[in-house]
């Protein structure tokens, strides 16, 4: 997963690649030109409960919705209940927050997370793709990094994923381990055998793909779109 050791804004900005630094500044200029852009963080249970339905609608409106990957929280009733229950319990204890960027009264990007042991865990994020010109996801990410650093209780922002787009922000990285524990008896042995079989199949597919890419045929197939467009 990727994470940031929280630092002053100037240090965070200086660490970005030159082109991406320009992209961040361009997004802010365009947001200022559009006008009526505001940033907000909700921490109380009342505020979080009010903003949560807006977040669900925003997340489902983009690539995670029915027309995309179908992974939006709103599309899974069980997942919806889980996060709603988690939000209420954690917000009551001061461990939950929802950050958003709004154009007028309309949320254009939002994220919710869990605060625990001096770390902000960014659990979910969504944005309005129709506002792509001002990069609402970039505006939100930069806002979270700034405000998290200003919170004396926080030292780390954990993004809880290893998405490629996060690399532009020069995060630190750490490995995670998956641990599976099976119950004794036939059921546990069958589940263990199934897991190992699936891992073996996936590893063989990866190896086959690498051999294909390394072969002459694979290289020709991969290079074909580039020279054909030229």
Question: Which three-class secondary structure state does DSSP give residue 68?
Answer: coil
Question: 0.85 exceeded by the pTM?
Answer: no
Per-residue confidence at 101, pLDDT binned at 50, 70, 90? very high
Count of Cβ atoms closer than 10 Å to residue 202 Cβ: 10
**Position 217 pLDDT exceeds 50:** yes
Cβ proximity of 114 and 90 under 8 Å: yes
List pLDDT tens digits, range 107-147.
999 999 999 999 999 999 999 999 999 999 999 999 999 99
DSSP character at residue 34: H
Q: What is the band of 215 on the pLDDT scale with cuts at 50, 70, 90?
A: low
Asked whether the predicted pLDDT for residue 17 surpasses 90, the reply is: no
Determine which helix (DSSP H) or strand (DSSP E) holds 195, and give its type and residue range.
helix 186-214
The dihedrals phi and psi of 104, each to the nearest 5 degrees, come to 65, -130
List, in order, residues 6 or more apart from 131 with CB less than 8 Å away.
Answer: 103, 108, 109
How far, in Å, are 26, 37, 143 from residue 32 at the CA level? 10, 7, 14
Ramachandran area for residue 125 (φ above 0: left; ψ -120 to 50: alpha; else beta): beta
| Average pLDDT of span 166-178 | 81
DSSP letters for 40-52: EEE-SHHHHHHHH
pLDDT at 230: 32
Q: Mean of the pLDDT values across residues 198-217?
A: 72
pLDDT of 176 higher than 80: no
* pLDDT (tens digit per residue) in 37-59: 999 999 999 999 999 999 999 99
Report yes or no: 21 and 138 within 8 Å, Cβ to Cβ: no
pLDDT above 90 coverage of the chain, percent: 57
How far apart (Å, rounded) are the C-alpha atoms in residues 228 and 230? 5
Q: Closest Cα partner for 169 from 54, 26, 15?
A: 15
Q: What is the mean pLDDT of the chain?
A: 87
Task: Quickly state the pLDDT bin for 224 (edges 50, 70, 90).
Answer: very low
* pLDDT for 60: 95
220: confidence class by pLDDT, cuts 50, 70, 90: very low
Rounded Cα gap, residues 98 and 86, in angstroms: 13
């Amino acid at each position: 997963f990727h994470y940031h050791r929280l630092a002053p804004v100037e240090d965070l900005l200086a660490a970005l690649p030159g082109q991406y630094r320009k992209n961040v500044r361009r997004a802010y200029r365009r947001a200022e030109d559009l006008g009526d852009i505001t940033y907000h963080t909700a921490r109380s249970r009342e505020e979080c409960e009010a903003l949560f339905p807006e977040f669900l609608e925003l997340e489902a409106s983009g690539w995670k919705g029915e027309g995309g990957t179908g992974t939006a929280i709103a599309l899974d009733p069980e997942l919806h209940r889980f996060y709603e229950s988690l939000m209420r319990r954690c917000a009551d204890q001061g461990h939950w927050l929802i950050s958003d960027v709004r154009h007028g009264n309309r949320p254009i990007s939002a994220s919710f997370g869990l605060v625990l042991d001096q770390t902000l865990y960014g659990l979910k994020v969504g944005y309005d793709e129709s506002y792509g010109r001002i990069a609402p996801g970039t505006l939100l990410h930069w806002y979270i990094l700034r405000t998290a650093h200003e919170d004396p209780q926080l030292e780390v922002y954990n993004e809880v994923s290893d998405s490629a787009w996060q690399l532009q922000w020069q995060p630190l990285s750490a490995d995670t381990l998956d641990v599976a524990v099976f119950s004794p008896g036939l059921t546990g042995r069958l589940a263990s055998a199934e897991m190992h079989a699936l891992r073996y199949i996936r590893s063989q597919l990866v190896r086959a793909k690498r051999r294909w890419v390394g072969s002459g045929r694979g290289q020709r197939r991969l290079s074909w779109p580039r020279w054909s467009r030229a």
